[in-house]
């Protein structure tokens, strides 16, 4: 695998950088850079700018509105977006549901939902985890009973990211309780405005309302909203999770975090010398950088294989494990580098319009919040313990 960028790829980087400079508002990049809370409209502002250029659906085929980019182009564009402090692309409709509909959906579902995802008419959330079914997703309890042309859905979903913004939810439900746990699961599209749906916030350790619990009580869902075959939703679920886990690796985010860590290490001093010159701290930074370089290579190989028609399996689990460990290690080193300045946590500081002077360096304020938020990476998308079991079974044959 040639790790040098071609002239065409370098030209694409220049094109991407110029587009971002022209279309990413300064006020929006400033909010991202300073760790301010982003609203639904903030995300949609960037989504719409990308869609106007035809650059929103990186992972979709061209015939459905995708970019047709190579894996390297996708990698380059993501790097440039993150380096410019653009908001992340909210993945639920674009990178999770979209590929599932393209592979398993009916023609009517593709014609209706895919353009609405691209145009930001529909905001999607993910109805997978339940209070007793997270990493062990096959044990979910939400039931959907067929009643003529409808399913009647009852149950509860939890950790529903940005569900308070959502218009629709793609949801795993039990349509048959016989047989093995993975059997009898179906994949439904549920209108969040349906009677019987209640969304309640979950305030996380960092003081944020990012996730929710969703209650479904006698919710009527048209049978036409079934994706794939009834009782075969586990196939859709696994396909979606491989895309999610590969994305959780967050190579570009880790590279940005490492660059920031190096900057802090140059700025901070310990016993009269720069922290980056401390041999123990420098060794830990070097190990993270080596691991990140190896993961970036593996990520590009996995994306290239996927582009050639090979669905990622255990590879996505490996990326998820290593990516989350690296990103958590970077925030841990930042916490150590900042010392007492990593302690202050003022929730109001992340509201737009907050003007109090920061405690310590201006980059210290968001750290505690970022550190707490990164703790979840090793849990969501299937805990790292479960991913290690997948690797052991599929690759090591244990």
Active site residues: 244
For residue 366, the SS3 value is coil
β-bridge mates for residue 212, sequence order: 201
What are φ and ψ of residue 4, in 5° steps? -90, 135
Q: Quickly list DSSP for 123-181.
A: -EEEE--BTTBSSSGGG---EEEEETTEEEEEEEE---TTGGG-SEEEEEEES--SSST
Alpha helices in the chain (DSSP H): 7-23, 26-33, 40-53, 71-83, 91, 98-104, 107-118, 233-248, 251-267, 279-307, 314-338, 367-374, 384-394
State the pairing for strand pair 168-174/124-127.
parallel
Question: Do the Cβ atoms of 199 and 222 come closer than 8 Å?
Answer: no
Taking the C-alpha atoms of 14, 16, 19 and 23 in order, what is their torsion angle to the nearest 10 degrees?
-140
- Cα distance from N-terminal residue to C-terminal residue, the chain: 30
Find out whether 312 and 12 touch, Cβ atoms under 8 Å. Answer: no
Please, are residues 89 and 96 in contact by the beta-carbon 8 Å criterion? no
* Residue 226 backbone phi and psi in degrees, to 5: -80, 130
> Quick one: tokens of 79?
């790097």
Helix (H, G, I), strand (E, B) or coil at 69: coil
Closest C-alpha to 56, from 81, 26, 36, 28: 81
* 274 alpha carbon, distance to own chain's centre: 35
For residue 349, what is the DSSP state? G
């Amino acid at each position: 695998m040639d790790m040098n960028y071609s002239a065409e790829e370098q030209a694409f980087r220049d094109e991407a950088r110029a587009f971002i400079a022209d279309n990413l508002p300064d006020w929006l990049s400033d909010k991202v850079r300073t760790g301010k809370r982003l609203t639904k409209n903030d995300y949609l502002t960037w989504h719409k700018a990308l869609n106007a250029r035809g650059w929103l659906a990186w992972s979709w085929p061209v015939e459905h509105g995708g970019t047709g980019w190579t894996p390297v182009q996708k990698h380059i564009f993501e790097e440039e977006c993150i380096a410019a402090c653009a908001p992340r692309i909210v993945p639920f409709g674009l990178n999770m549901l979209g590929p599932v509909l393209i592979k398993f959906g009916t023609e009517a579902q593709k014609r209706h939902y895919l353009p609405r995802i691209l145009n930001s008419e529909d905001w999607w959330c993910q109805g997978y985890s339940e209070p007793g079914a997270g990493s062990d997703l096959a044990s979910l309890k939400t039931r959907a009973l067929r009643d003529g042309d409808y399913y009647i859905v009852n149950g509860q979903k939890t950790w529903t990211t940005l569900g308070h913004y959502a218009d629709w939810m793609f949801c795993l439900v039990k349509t048959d309780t016989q047989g093995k746990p993975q059997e009898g699961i179906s994949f439904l599209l549920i209108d969040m405005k349906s009677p019987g749906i209640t969304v309640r916030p979950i305030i996380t350790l960092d003081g944020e309302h990012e996730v929710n619990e969703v209650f479904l009580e006698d919710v009527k869902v048209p049978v036409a909203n079934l994706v794939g075959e009834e009782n075969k939703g586990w196939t859709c679920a696994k396909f979606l999770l491989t895309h999610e886990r590969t994305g959780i690796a967050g190579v570009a985010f880790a590279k940005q975090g490492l660059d920031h860590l190096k900057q802090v290490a140059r700025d901070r001093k310990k016993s009269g010398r720069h922290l980056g010159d401390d041999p123990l701290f420098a060794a830990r930074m070097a190990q993270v950088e080596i691991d990140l370089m190896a993961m970036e290579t593996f990520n590009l190989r996995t994306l290239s294989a996927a582009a050639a028609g090979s669905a990622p399996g255990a590879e996505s689990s490996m990326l998820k494990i290593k990516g989350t460990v690296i990103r958590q290690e970077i925030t841990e080193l930042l916490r150590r580098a900042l010392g007492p300045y990593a302690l202050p946590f003022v929730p109001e500081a992340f509201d737009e319009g907050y003007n109090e002077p920061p405690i310590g360096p201006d980059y210290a304020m968001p750290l505690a919040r970022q550190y707490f938020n990164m703790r979840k990476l090793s849990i969501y998308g299937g805990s790292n313990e479960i991913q290690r079991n997948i690797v052991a079974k599929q690759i090591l044959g244990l």
